[in-house]
Structure 1
Amino acid sequence: MNHPQPVVLDELPSLSKLYVNAAATAARRRVLGASTGKKRLPAVSHEVKGVRADVGNLTAYQHLVGETASDTLPAGYVHALAFPVSMSVMNRDDFPLPLLGMIHLRNKIEQLAPIQFAQDLDIRSWAENLAGHKAGTQLDVVSEVRAGSIDEVLWRGTSTYLAKGVFLPGIDKPGSPNGATGPSEFVPPNPTAVWQLNLDTGRNYAAVSGDFNPIHLSVLSAKALGLRGSIAHGMYLASRALADVGAVKADSFAWDVTFEAPVFLPARVALDITTLQTESGNWKRSDYVAWNPRSGRRHFTGSVTALA
């Protein structure tokens, strides 16, 4: 695709305002019975310059997900910093899919260099790869974080989302997403950790990430969007797994996660982490899987792999 035309924003968008606007748009479409009629993604990127982490917010995030206190930004925290810019792209009037109710399928992140909390950062996001999915329509939202003083990408993330039940005209529906044959059979191993997630887990993560999507906040707000109860944020779960990998990981790494089944709150989540080493004994990769310890149903899988 052509490089998206940049739109520079004056400041980080307010996620709460974006969700309010998305709710108003959804209500208007229900009343009018109208769809967007669009089948193309906006050929623009949104960019905010000079973003700096708040040390109090960083500390609260580290405490919530179990990261060690540090001046270096965790990769999941950088995702949270970039998230409002990504959501502003998905909240545009010319965006073809509804923002509310969007399901997070996958995340692929490259942490290319450590980022210090005092650094000024430039964040750019755009959408690409609009495609059919057996359950609706999916797309990728890409974000890049650069050091404000130099033209160097420090962090890159691609989030894949699904608009469930939304089938755009002219977008073919495959037999299965991305040519996959479905989840493999899963036999739960002995867990290395078991998390106890309370009903307020979604609200607590929203407080540090700014992501107040109604599907995470309460049973009532989640039911209004078609779910039987509130669910944990995918990035909270993935970030907590990354924290459990621990300080063994390298300064630069690839972090992947695929979400399979939502975690309805409250919940217990079992986690297993398997660490692989090089012949010289250095850390190479950690694979992780999380599941419901009662039913054995897999929630998500992922890996953290050294890049250098």
Structure 2
Amino acid sequence: MAGAGAPPSYAVTELAELPALGGLYARGAVGSVAKRPRADVALPPAAYRVTDVDTTGTGPRLAAYQRVVGEPASDVLSAGFLHVLAFPLATAVMVRPDFPLGLLGMVHLRNAVRVLRPVRLGDDGVEVTAWAENARAHRRGVQVDLVAEILAAGELAYRGVSTYLAKGFTLPGVGAAEPGRPGGSADDGARPRTSGAGRDSWVPPLPTARWRLGKDIGPAYGAVSGDRNPIHLSSLGAKAFGFPRAIAHGMYTAARALAEVGPARRGDAYEWTAEFFKPVLLPGSVDLAIRYASDAGADVLPGSAGGFVYDGWRTGRAVRHLAGAVAPL
């Protein structure tokens, strides 16, 4: 995962402050109407940057976030909270008039994050930059990476790459689309490999934790993250988008898995990946398994020393919700 900075050909626009997600979602909803699937996807060569972000004022929000996702109280901003901090700037890129993909219906597939040094409350010189890159074909549309970088005292501290799928769009001149991933993803339309009996071949490992999630977890995470998408807040809002009831934020489940690994095991500098499968319906129960990567026979973060892998699935069912890894650098 390279860094730092947007591609040299990108024009960087300085903003006075991080934008509010509510207004961005409203713009994205209106703008999505005009962004119908077409075959001329071209990402804008543009990035947004906010310098001198005030981390001191985020103290109450950080404390509330830590309570919601299960992080221990600390003045260190975890990778999950750094994602929350930078997310509005990435969203601002996606709601630009020249961004070719509609915000509504965008499916979050995976995250790849690298924390290179701690960012703490009160740190000076915190700078956030975000842009879109790497549009590529997928058999159900176009994938795109939203990249966010955070610098502290002039040093790259965080780099997160969030991959999204816009269904129905295509790229001109591109050959075969990316095949479905092993294990599949209900979110991106891939199907899990199946046995002759027609059942999923993935077998859940022994759980190390069980989450009993009430219907209040969507509003609770929405309050600390700013992501108040109606599919997470109520059954009524979720049904409008085809879900039987409200679903948990994918980043809530990933952040809670990161918290389960814990600061001591991941260290001050670490990599964190998350891949999303079937959404978690609320209320619901999720089993989680955290294992040493070596015990699981996994090499999910090449170049890292050791680390952990995690899987989350519906209690009592082999319905996978998420998977990922955490490894110290």
> Does TM, normalized by the shorter one, top 0.5?
yes
Q: 1:264/1:174 Cα in 2 relative to 1: closer, same or farther (>3 Å)?
A: farther
Residues 145 and 22 of structure 1: CA distance in aligned 2, closer, same or farther (over 3 Å): same
Hey, what does 1:21 align to over in structure 2? Answer: 27
Give the residue type in structure 2 aligned to 1:131: R
Question: One-letter code of the match for 2:160?
Answer: G
Residue 70 of structure 1 and its aligned partner are, at CA, apart by 0.5
Aligned to 1:6: 12
Post-superposition Cα deviations, 1:59-117, rounded to whole Å, max 9, x if no partner, equal 00001100010111111000000000000000100001111221110000001001111
Structure 1's 159 and 173: CA in aligned 2 closer, same or farther, altered over 3 A?
farther
**Aligned residue in 1 for 2:165:** 162
| Match in the other structure for 2:85 | 81
What is the alpha-carbon distance in structure 2 between the residues aligned to residue 187 and residue 44 of structure 1?
43
Contact 2:39 2:169 in 1 (8 A): no
Moved more, 125-134 or 58-67: 125-134
The code of the aligned residue for 2:134 comes to N
Partners of 1:267 and 1:171 in 2: CA distance: 44
More displaced stretch, 171-180 vs 6-15: 171-180
Aligned partner of 1:52 in structure 2 is: 54
Structure 2 counterparts to residues 165-204 of structure 1, below 5 A: 166-168=168-170, 170=172, 172=174, 174=176, 176-177=178-179, 182=184, 183=192, 185-204=201-220
Whether 1:126 and 2:131 are equivalent positions in the alignment is: yes
Retained in 1: the 8 A contact 2:142–2:171? no
1:139 maps to amino acid: V
Deviations 1:137-179 (A, max 9, x none): 21000110001x32x1000000001123x22352647454477
TM-score w.r.t. length of structure 1? 0.89
Aligned with 1:229: secondary structure? coil
| Structure 1: gaps (5+ residues) | 278-282
Show the counterpart of 1:251. 268
Contact 1:37–1:96, Cα closer than 8 Å, also in 2: no
Distance change >3 Å, CA 284–CA 206, structure 1 → 2: same
The alpha-carbon deviation at position 202 of structure 1 amounts to 1.3
Count of residue pairs the alignment pairs up: 296
Q: Which runs of 4+ in 1 moved over 6 A?
A: none
Identity across matched positions, percent: 44
* Deviates most, 228-237 or 250-259: 228-237
Kindly provide the amino acid, as one letter, of the partner of residue 227 in structure 1: F
How many Å apart are 1:215 and its aligned residue?
2.2
Matches within 5 A, 1:188-227: 188-227=204-243
Q: Give the SS at the match of 2:111.
A: strand
TM-score under structure 2 normalisation?
A: 0.84
Going from structure 1 to structure 2, the CA distance change for 1:85 and 1:178 (only over 3 Å counts) comes to farther
Instruction: Find the residue that maps to 2:66 and give its secondary structure.
Output: helix
Q: Contact 1:216–1:230 (CA<8 Å) still a contact in 2? A: yes
Match of 1:287 among 304, 309, 312: 309
Aligned CA distance change for structure 1 residues 160 and 171 (closer, same or farther; 3 Å): farther
Aligned counterpart, 1:107: 111
Residue equivalent to 1:280: none
Change (3 A) 1:177 1:265: farther
**Structure 2: gaps (5+ residues):** 1-6, 185-191, 194-200, 295-304
Comparing 10-19 and 290-299, the one that deviates more? 290-299
Q: Distance in 2 between matches of 1:122 and 1:298?
A: 36
Q: Let me know the Cα RMSD of the aligned residues.
A: 2.3
What letter is aligned with 2:73? A
Contact 2:149–2:158 (Cα < 8 Å) also in 1: yes
User: What's the secondary structure of 1:153's corresponding residue?
Assistant: strand
* 1:181 to 1:132, Cα distance in 2 relative to 1, 3 A: farther
Alpha-carbon offset, residue 22 of structure 1: 1.4
How far off its partner does 1:136 sit? 2.0
Q: Which letter does structure 2 place at the counterpart of 1:108?
A: A
Residues 105, 160 of structure 1: 8 Å contact kept = yes
